[in-house]
Copies of this chain bind each other. A is one copy, B any other.
Amino acid sequence: MSFQLSPGAEGLRTRLFHIIFESDTPGAKAFDIALIIAILISVAVILLDSVDAYAERFGHIFFYLEWAFALIFSLELAVRIYCLERPTIYLKSFYGIVDVIAILPAWLVLLVPGAHGLVIVRILRVLRIFRILRLMEFIGEGRLLLDALKRSLRQILLFFSSILMVVTLFAALMYTIESPEAGFTSIPMSMYWAIVSMTTVGYGDIVPATSLGKAITMILMLMGYSIIAVPTGVFSAQVIRSIREDRYSEEACPGCGHDRHEKRARYCLRCGTWLDEDSEDPRKKDEHKNEKRP
């Protein structure tokens, strides 16, 4: 992240900044772990609060815990804003928005008594669960995966377009063949069935009733079963490629500036310059010998 402190910032702010926004000191690590645990517990409270049996028995405990988490997360956000130079930029960033979403609904639920607008309160209570997204801050490994995903993005889009076309065509076909009694009441409903079948989920709530419908379903299921090999193959290839590119050195050629050589390359593949600056080019040695001989 690039939220920097002004050079003249006082010590407390600097220290807080390092603890909250970084993770390479013991203090910062302890803060991260405490925050993860707080988020997980607060999410668990929301989950359990939605179960009627628990809500009845432990409702007041959940209520106090929610107050506690609302206070903790609000305090944390306040400190975050306090130790930043440009808090507005932070609040408009993805993680800033997630941080606000993690707090606002809690206050709304706690302060607005739920007599009127029960639905909104209920939705707000559920919205609190978005604070789980804050965990994404702590995950660093994604770069290799995101890299491979980015490379296969076009192929994945192509894959999904094809899937949706197949689904639409099969849905229209089944809508014509099967009767509404079997559940194929409209093309969108048939599409729901086609996706349930093609992704091999197979709830069984809508099922073909006619022989012809069953025959077409078999084809659709075999397609769905085997077609998954396509994105898997593409993605495997891209991950392998991403790993392999770790084999490439990032040092630029002193001759032409080209910066993507295999680590074992000895000469620049674009201009032929000797890459290893610590030793001498064997070609030069040969030239020296030739010079000395006559």
Contact with B along A160-189 (1 / 0, CB 8 A): 110101001100110110000000011111
Of the candidates B159, B165, B201, which one forms a contact with A126 in the assembled complex, judged by CB atoms under 8 Å apart?
Answer: B165
Contact with B along A24-62 (1 / 0, CB 8 A): 000000000000000000010011101110000000000
Neighbouring B residues of A261 by C-beta, 8 Å: 269
Check: A23 CB closer than 8 A to any chain B CB: no
Q: A139-B158, A239-B236 are in contact. Are A123 and B269 (CB under 8 A)?
A: no
Task: Give, as a whole number of angstroms, the nearest-CB distance from A137 to chain B.
Answer: 8
Task: Give, as a whole number of angstroms, the nearest-CB distance from A196 to chain B.
Answer: 7
**Number of copies of this chain that the complex holds:** 4
**Which label, helix, strand, loop or mixed, suits the secondary structure of the A interface?**
helix
Neighbouring B residues of A199 by C-beta, 8 Å: 200, 221-222, 224-225
Neighbouring B residues of A262 by C-beta, 8 Å: 269
Check: A270 CB closer than 8 A to any chain B CB: yes
By the criterion CB–CB under 8 Å, are B133 and A158 in contact? yes
Task: Give, as a whole number of angstroms, the nearest-CB distance from A291 to chain B.
Answer: 14
Neighbouring B residues of A241 by C-beta, 8 Å: 243
Of the candidates B126, B138, B265, which one forms a contact with A176 in the assembled complex, judged by CB atoms under 8 Å apart?
Answer: B126
Check: A232 CB closer than 8 A to any chain B CB: yes
A-B contact pairs, 20 of them (CB 8 A): A46-B172, A46-B187, A47-B187, A50-B175, A129-B168, A132-B165, A133-B161, A139-B158, A145-B234, A195-B218, A195-B221, A199-B200, A199-B221, A199-B224, A200-B200, A232-B233, A237-B239, A237-B243, A264-B269, A269-B269
